[in-house]
Amino acid sequence: MAHTIAVIAGDGIGTEVMPEGIRALEAAAKRFALDLEFTIFEFGSCDYYLEHGQMMPDDWFEQLKDFDALFYGAVGWPEKVPDHISLWGSLIQFRRRFDQYVNLRPCKLMPGIESPLAGRKPGDIDFYVVRENTEGEYSSIGGKMFEGTEREVVIQETVMSRTGVDRVLKYAFDLAQSRPRQKLTSATKSNGISITMPYWDERVAEMAKAYPDVAVDKFHIDILTANFVLHPDWFDVVVGSNLFGDILSDLGPACTGTIGVAPSANINPEGNFPSLFEPVHGSAPDIAGKGIANPIGQIWSGAMMLEHLGHADAAQAIVDAIEAVLAEGDMKVLTRDVGGQGTTESLGRAIAAKIKS
Ligand code: NAD
Ligand code: IPM
Ligand code: MN
């Protein structure tokens, strides 16, 4: 049976890396006899907004809800549309309405890529950030008062529900339990954020009781960011609130050499709605249009999508191909962020060719 995949490339380099993501998926589909059916949507981009006055049509939920998965590029072009409008009109709606409450973001130092951290080799950095993805600091509760006056006040509440916290913690603990090191680190800030963060800690401690095999530690987010740089080898599964997870999932990949390789899976584990797969990076207006963006984040996200759809072997073949091409280190093929002179397409084609073989 075909897997139906809705494709939204979005803005900037989203439109450049997406074809390479699809090229890799098609190569894997051919090799493993998978039937992938792609449907391309134009909405969810700033150009769509400029034409229609909104990021998506009113019936976007109906149009997308029955797909098996969403494959997403990147959205945002602040010169055309303010970021909070473009992002809250698209990506954040998907995460919330499709209840994609887990944002799973691997950080792995790959062969052939030099870490900016001195002396770090592949194997030294290999962990997951599990980010809460539907509530926390990204809440729509709040507002502006006394606008335009000296008494102006803006408030945006942090929301943590027991269900919302527990379900992402459960996912993170299950993941930690399934990994050889069986270690979970919680990102907190319960010394300063005195209501929500102590609550987060409390739920972590409660959940830990059900996972006696998992070694649990926690760090306040300030020192945790320092430890990502100083001791990335300490981490196995790192779980954090929406904002903390966002920050850690750019910092982690930066420690692995470039955020251009980092993938993510926005998962609705129950399968009530489609999950969404996208690189961690954004639309990168500074390099858009040059054909030099690294497509690996998009391609690896495609691998995570295949794994989610039940094809672990095909997913592994894509990751193996990425690693093989990076390890070969052909500077004519690799993109600039990893020291090469190649293009988005040269790197994408090299990976697709390896997947086929
Ligand atoms: P960004 O991730 O787009 O870019 C940050 C830096 O990393 C830039 O210098 C960029 O050139 C570089 N970079 C990013 N991806 C790369 C790749 N694949 N290859 C090589 N270099 C790469 O972050 P930003 O500049 O903060 O945001 C730009 C826009 O993207 C904004 O509108 C922002 O809101 C949006 N954004 C969207 C998403 C998403 O769709 N998931 C994520 C982050 C940012
Ligand atoms: C990400 C992005 C988004 C987020 C932005 C673009 C709203 O940074 O996916 O990491 O903060 O979640
Ligand atoms: Mn981010």
d(CA 53, CA 255): 39
Q: Are 74 and 284 in contact (CB under 8 A)?
A: yes
- The residue type found at 23 is R
In a domain? residue 121: no
End-to-end CA distance of the chain: 24
How remote is the CA of residue 150 from the centroid of ligand 3, in Å? 33
- The residue type found at 169 is L
Clarify whether residues 250 and 130 are in a common domain: yes
Tell how strand 36-41 and strand 126-132 pair up.
unpaired
Task: Evaluate: CB of 203 within 6 angstroms of ligand 1.
Answer: no
d(CA 118, CA 53): 48
Q: What is the pLDDT of residue 211?
A: 98
Which of 230, 255, 280 corresponds to the end of one domain? 255
Clarify whether residues 238 and 307 are in a common domain: no
Dihedral angle, C-alpha 44, 45, 49, 51, nearest 10 °:
-110
Task: Please state, in angstroms and as integers, the Cα–Cα distance from residue 123 to each residue in 109, 232, 236, 280, following that order.
Answer: 7, 10, 11, 21
In a domain? residue 118: no
In a domain? residue 119: no
Clarify whether residues 319 and 345 are in a common domain: yes
The tokens of 36 are what? 């992938």
Clarify whether residues 203 and 297 are in a common domain: no
Clarify whether residues 233 and 179 are in a common domain: yes
Task: Please state, in angstroms and as integers, the Cα–Cα distance from residue 168 to each residue in 131, 164, 175, 222, 275, following that order.
Answer: 8, 7, 11, 22, 15
Say if residue 178 is exposed, middle or buried (CB neighbours under 10 Å; 0-12, 13-18, 19+): exposed
Which of 255, 290, 314 corresponds to the end of one domain? 255
The total number of structural domains in the chain stands at 2
Which residue among 246, 278, 283 has the greatest number of ligand 2 atoms within 8 angstroms of its CB, and so is best to mutate?
Answer: 246
What is the CB neighbour count within 10 angstroms for residue 255? 17
In a domain? residue 75: yes
Tens-place pLDDT, residues 82-126: 999 999 999 999 999 999 999 999 999 999 999 999 999 999 999
Clarify whether residues 20 and 61 are in a common domain: yes
Listed as ranges, residues in the chain with pLDDT below 70 are: none
In a domain? residue 113: no
The tokens of 1 are what? 């049976």
How remote is the CA of residue 246 from the centroid of ligand 3, in Å? 5
For residue 160, give every residue at least 6 positions away whose Cβ sits within 8 Å of its Cβ, in sequence order, or none. 135, 136, 196, 199, 200, 241
Which residue among 281, 294, 298 has the greatest number of ligand 1 atoms within 8 angstroms of its CB, and so is best to mutate?
Answer: 281
Q: What is the pLDDT of residue 215?
A: 98
The tokens of 305 are what? 């999508």
Say which CATH number the domain at 289 has: 3.40.718.10
**Which residue's CA is the closest to the ligand 2 atom numbered 6?**
87
The tokens of 100 are what? 């994609």
What residues flank ion ligand 3 with Cβ within 5 A? Answer: 246
d(CA 329, CA 354): 14
Task: Evaluate: CB of 131 within 6 angstroms of ligand 1.
Answer: no
The ligand with the least distance to the CA atom of 335 is: 1
The ligand with the least distance to the CA atom of 254 is: 1
Clarify whether residues 305 and 250 are in a common domain: no
d(CA 305, CA 165): 24
The tokens of 267 are what? 């998962």
For residue 189, give every residue at least 6 positions away whose Cβ sits within 8 Å of its Cβ, in sequence order, or none. 197, 220, 221, 222, 244
What is the CB neighbour count within 10 angstroms for residue 161? 12
> How far does Cα 152 stand from its chain's mean position?
35
Q: What is the pLDDT of residue 260?
A: 98
In a domain? residue 117: no
Clarify whether residues 200 and 299 are in a common domain: no
In a domain? residue 36: yes
Supply the pTM of this predicted model.
Answer: 0.98
Which residue among 246, 283, 345 has the greatest number of ligand 1 atoms within 8 angstroms of its CB, and so is best to mutate?
Answer: 283
| Long-range pairs of 328-334 with CB within 8 A, sequence gap ≥ 24 | 328/112, 329/112, 334/112
Range of the domain at 150: 126-255
Which of 210, 226, 255 corresponds to the end of one domain? 255
